Amino acid sequence: MPLPAPGPDRTAMVTGASSGIGAMIARELSRRGHHVTLVARSVDKLEDLAAELGSADVIAMDLADRASRASLLERVGELGRVPDILVNNAGLSTLGAVSKSDPAAEMHMIEVDVVAVADLCSRILPGMVQRGRGAVLNVASTAAFQPLPGQAGYGAGKAFVLSYTQSLAGELRGTGVTATTLCPGPVHTGFGERAGFSVEDAEAALPAVMWVTPEEVAKSAVEGMDKGRLVVIPGKVNRVAAALSQVTPRTLLLPLLAKSHPGLR
Q: What is the pLDDT of residues 134-184, one digit of tens each?
A: 999 999 999 999 999 999 999 999 999 999 999 999 999 999 999 999 999
Find out whether 55 and 36 touch, Cβ atoms under 8 Å: yes
Residue 124 corresponds to which amino acid?
Answer: I
Q: Which domain holds residue 69?
A: 10-264
- Could you tell me which of 39, 29, 23 has the C-alpha nearest to residue 5? 29
Q: Is residue 229 part of a domain?
A: yes
* Residue range 204-226: mean pLDDT, rounded: 86
| CATH code of residue 46 | 3.40.50.720
Q: What's the CA gap between 22 and 39, in Å, rounded?
A: 9
pLDDT tens for 15-54 read 999 999 999 999 999 999 999 999 999 999 999 999 999 9
As a residue count, the chain comes to: 265
So what's the pLDDT on residue 203? 58
Would you say the pTM of this structure is higher than 0.85? yes
Q: What is the mean pLDDT of residues 219-229?
A: 96
Q: Considering its fold, how many domains does the chain have in total?
A: 1
Is 196 contained in some domain? yes
Compute the distance between CA of residue 124 and CA of residue 106 in angstroms, rounded to an integer: 26
Nearest by Cα to 218 from 27, 85, 12: 27
- Residues noted as catalytic: 154
Per-residue pLDDT tens digits for 53-105: 998 999 999 999 999 999 999 999 999 999 999 999 999 999 999 999 999 99
Around 74, how many Cα atoms within 13 Å sit in the side-chain half-sphere? 5
Does residue 5 lie within any of the structural domains? Answer: no
The verdict on residue 39 lying in a domain is: yes
In a domain, 2, yes or no: no
Separation in Å, CA 97 to CA 29, 103, 121: 38, 12, 31
The pLDDT-based confidence of 196 (bands split at 50, 70, 90) is: low
